[in-house]
Structure 1
Amino acid sequence: MRESMSIWFFAGVLFLIYGVIITAIGFWELANPPAHPPVLFNLHPSIWWGGMMAIAGLVYTIRFWPRVRR
């Protein structure tokens, strides 16, 4: 019998997916900088924010992974 799945598991998966996408876009922007970069572009916020989201998503995904009851 399976335990009911927590909504936090799905939130973790979404955070993980969004974090990976945002980080990938940040690295793409790093390799191909825009012609007119924003003021704080040199801080690379998309890489930091995406990385933090991916780590948080990984923590939540592992913490709330559905377990099988026996």
Structure 2
Amino acid sequence: MNDQDRLTAIQAVVDRVTSWQDGATEGTVEQELRRGAEEVGVDMTDDEIRRLADVIEDEHAAVSAEEVLGTH
């Protein structure tokens, strides 16, 4: 999987989790990010999961995986 495909897959997971996790605890968000990543077949580090979960919890809005993970 190339970097762009990986980022696209991660963004799909982030969008899904963000859309229905408003108000969920960080542990739940992290768990759902891991589950989603597994479902789409993309490996994410613990650090990537934590960073994305923090932003999802803080922003409660659209989250750019590219911006959070610094891959732009």
For normalisation by structure 1, the TM-score amounts to: 0.32
Larger radius of gyration: 1
Structure number with higher helix proportion? 2
Q: Which has the higher contact order (CA 8 A, sep 6+)?
A: 1
For normalisation by structure 2, the TM-score amounts to: 0.31
